[in-house]
Amino acid sequence: MMRLLVLVAAVGAAVAVSAKAGELCVACDEPSATYRCSIEQPSEKYQLKGALAGEVCSKVLAKKGAHQKCHIAEVPEGAACEGAERVVTITDYQRAVSDSGESTYEVGALEIARRNVHDTWLCVTSIFKDC
């Protein structure tokens, strides 16, 4: 049963993808609107795809557009999603699901940590002359 549910979700997500790779077609109600949504991926190693990408796009677009509800829309094969293009980020998603609109995602946190480790290594290897 679980495999069937996963298969149905995967097929639904695949049908919703427009001709442009990584874009989802999202339909919103009250007020009515359609969007071509893509997610700014956090890194090459970690990619948001499938049902998770649909959830992120739906929540962010509902919140940003003051819509009652948004959902992934099916696009007939060979057709394109007719909607405004929107790019969402992980920060947008955190703000959408947060009550206060704040974000805990810090852009570049891993890069800052990498630089700190590198600087420390240079300091130690120079026998504390380059600190």
Cα(113)–Cα(115) distance, integer angstroms: 5
Mean pLDDT, range 102-108, rounded to an integer: 58
Q: In this structure, is residue 127 part of a structural domain? A: no
Q: In this structure, is residue 45 part of a structural domain? A: yes
What residues make up the domain containing 73? Answer: 2-105
Residues 6+ apart with CB under 8 A from 96: 59, 60, 62, 63, 64
Q: In this structure, is residue 110 part of a structural domain? A: no
Q: In this structure, is residue 8 part of a structural domain? A: yes
The pLDDT score that the predictor gives to residue 130 is: 72
Whether residue 58 is predicted with pLDDT greater than 90 in this model: the reply is: yes
How is the chain split among helix, strand and coil, in percent rounded to 5? Answer: 40, 20, 40
Please report, in angstroms and rounded to a whole number, the separation of the first and last CA atoms in the chain.
Answer: 60
Q: In this structure, is residue 115 part of a structural domain? A: no
> Of 7-16, 33-42, 44-53, 57-66, which range is least confident?
7-16
Confidence of residue 121 (pLDDT cuts 50, 70, 90): confident
Q: In this structure, is residue 65 part of a structural domain? A: yes
Q: Are 38 and 81 in contact (CB under 8 A)?
A: no
Q: In this structure, is residue 36 part of a structural domain? A: yes
Q: In this structure, is residue 15 part of a structural domain? A: yes
Number of domains in the chain: 1
Cα(103)–Cα(98) distance, integer angstroms: 8
